[in-house]
Structure 1
Amino acid sequence: MSQLTTAEPLLQVNALDIEYRTRERRVRATHDVSFDVWPGDRFILLGPSGCGKSSLLKSVGGFIKPLRGEITLAGSRISAPGPDRMMVFQEFDQLPPWKTVLQNVMFPLIASRKATRAEARDQALYFLDKVGLANFANALPHTLSGGMKQRVAIARALAMRPRMLLMDEPFAALDALTRRTMQEELLSLWDEERFTLLFVTHSIEEALVVGSRILVLSPHPGRVRAELNCHQYSLNDFGSPAFQAAASHIHHLLFPPAVNVPSSSAIQELDHVTATVYSS
């Protein structure tokens, strides 16, 4: 897959600190996180649970105000949610249950006044066809499987033609086979539409096959540990030596081997040996 590039990044995240409050205390989610996302990127935020990757995504979406730092999209500072950033969540219940599949996809277009009802219908049907759900346009969400609901959510987001699609572990709750199918379909959609994707996952394998670049975040609080290119991998590379080596490298970045700390008795023994050497 070729990459789209311009002279400037589409998204710039600069020195971001994010905190949230619990009943007991304030918790630092991320510390001094910076990265750029270019048009056409499939940019992955990868890290263990609690590293602040979802908080980063929600800050880009305008739902969380950072404590420090700045986020700009196409040069404009992000301060609130907007139709230029559409989000797909992990939960299957993100679709209003009283609206049909078609109505769910049409609704943001009409509510934001980006399209007339006729235009919204055409746009919705186009993207429902892209995700293989044209025949379910009149179905209600409760009749759909989890994977089908996620397809509707993706169609609804892409129908808005956003500058950036934000996805927060959208396939994490699916079974392995459905998850693989959804990854294939997402990459196929990207091939056709070349949208810019910011995608959160805690799966190293998913990051390698879905992404073109990966930002590796440390355990809590999230700090940038590395930024890696991964556009050379696809779903067909599972099990290959190069893929396994890349996965192993990322695993060691996420979870560095523990350093063996000498016991107090070993330290005393070392002091004794050192003193003997210097006195002889």
Structure 2
Amino acid sequence: MAAAAQPLLQVRDLTLAYRTERRTVRATHEVSFDVQQGDRFVLLGASGCGKSSLLKAVAGFLPPRSGDILLQGQPVTEPGADRVVVFQEFDQLPPWKRVLDNVAFGLVASRQCGKAEARERAAQALATVGLSRAAEAYPHQLSGGMKQRVAIARALAMRPRVLLMDEPFAALDALTRRGLQEELLRLWAELRFTLLFVTHSIEEALLVGNRILLLSPHPGRVRAELDAESFDFASAGSAAFQAQQQRIHRLLFNPESGS
């Protein structure tokens, strides 16, 4: 039998901690999971479970206290263009740059290509997210949802091995949030990138992810890993969807009640 493909991303026994003036605060404790090529892998848990810390560690911004992070079998020790983060804050776009230049900036700064090719790739990325007409606008001229689409375009233009998203739609109104969730899944179906997505919304986790890692709080530990491949927007109101929401809620907040 052929050997199973090596996961694109491997997190092994990862413990993360922050040091304050008075003490060391542990964010996660011995967390392990694998992300396969093309996965939409969601880290789900309440505030304080360490999910954003895990994302920062995978991005290379937060060194582990112990454990390992491997990308295609190689240790992650620093930030790199192969991992690009989209945050929830709308102010992640330099306000003095036009939209096209904002999208091209990462390509030029990382020296992936020259300015002309960077602008060409940026234009392609903006077309992918439906913002070609906004290429010459400034960030202050965009709505919150449009700014997030620009941030997604900037990340996709980098062609990362893993797209990291830290609650990217949490600050948006419900209608804009749903629209961007649908947009993200459309882009994934077209481009088949690998996604590591952080949320505290059970519904969003089931809609966006094909696999969900549940984290318990203080410090974050793996509570369970679930398959969400069968759920989508069409099934969001179904009895099965609601039952899975309730099961996840019990696992996260009433672990003694069982699964």
Per the normalisation by structure 1, the TM-score is 0.89
| Counterpart in the other structure of 2:18 | 20
Does structure 1 residue 112 correspond to structure 2 residue 110?
yes
Task: Give the Cα–Cα distance (whole angstroms) in 1 for the partners of residues 202 and 6 of structure 2.
Answer: 28
Q: Identity over the aligned pairs, expressed in percent?
A: 68
Residue 35 (structure 2) aligns with: 37
Q: 2-side partners of 1:123 and 1:205: how far apart?
A: 33
Could you tell me which runs of 5 or more consecutive residues in structure 2 were left unpaired when the two chains were aligned: none
Q: 2:52 is aligned with what amino acid? A: S
Does 1:177 find its partner at 2:212? no
Residue 122 (structure 1) aligns with? 120
Distance 1:170 1:8 in 2: 28
> CA deviation digits over 1:126-159, x for unaligned, max 9?
1101111100000000111111110000000000
Give me the whole-angstrom Cα distance separating, in 2, the residues matched to 1:202 and 1:111. Answer: 32
**Matched residues in 2 for 1:27 and 1:112: separation?**
33
Query: Which ranges of 4 or more aligned residues in structure 1 deviate by more than 3 Å?
Result: none
For residues 245 and 142 of structure 1, do their structure 2 counterparts lie closer, same or farther at Cα, with a shift above 3 Å needed?
A: same
Q: In 2, distance between residues paired with 1:100 and 1:23?
A: 41
Distance in structure 2 (CA, Å) of the matches to 1:240 and 1:216: 22
Q: Deviations over 1:176-207 (max 9, x none)?
A: 00000000000000000000000000000000
Aligned partner letter, 1:88: V
| SS of residue matched to 2:62 | coil
How many Å separate the matches in 1 of 2:239 and 2:250? 16
Query: Does 2:205 correspond to 1:207?
Result: yes
2:139 is matched with 141
Q: Which ranges of structure 1 fall in alignment gaps of 5 or more residues?
A: 1-5, 260-280
Partners of 1:94 and 1:75 in 2: CA distance: 31
Shift of 1:48: 0.3
Offset of 1:114 from its aligned partner? Answer: 1.0
Deviations 1:159-187 (CA, angstroms, capped at 9, x unpaired) = 01000000000000000000000000000
Q: Report 1:47-196 matches (<5 A).
A: 47-196=45-194
Q: Distance in 2 between matches of 1:162 and 1:215?
A: 22
What is the root-mean-square deviation of aligned Cα atoms in Å? 1.1
Larger mean CA deviation between 123-132 and 188-197 belongs to: 123-132
1:224-272 Cα offsets, whole Å, 9 max, x none, are: 000001011111212100000110110000011678xxxxxxxxxxxxx
SS at match of 2:29: strand
Tell me the TM-score normalised to structure 2 length: 0.96
Q: Which residue of 2 aligns with 1:264?
A: none
Paired position in structure 1 for 2:229 = 231
User: 2:9 is aligned with what amino acid?
Assistant: L
Cα drift, residue 118 of structure 1: 1.7
Distance 1:47 1:218 in 2: 6
Map residues 199-278 of structure 1 onto 2, 5 A cutoff: 199-256=197-254
Aligned counterparts of 1:221 and 1:249: Cα–Cα separation in 2: 22
How far apart, CA to CA, are the structure 2 residues paired with 1:161 and 1:103? 17
Deviations 1:43-71 (CA, angstroms, capped at 9, x unpaired): 00000000000000000000000100000
Counterpart amino acid of 2:69?
I
The DSSP-based 3-state class of the residue aligned with 2:160 is coil
Q: Distance in 1 between matches of 2:73 and 2:40?
A: 20
Bigger shift: 150-159 or 17-26?
17-26
Counterparts of 1:124 and 1:257, CA distance in 2: 46
Secondary structure (helix, strand or coil) at the match of 1:188 reads: helix
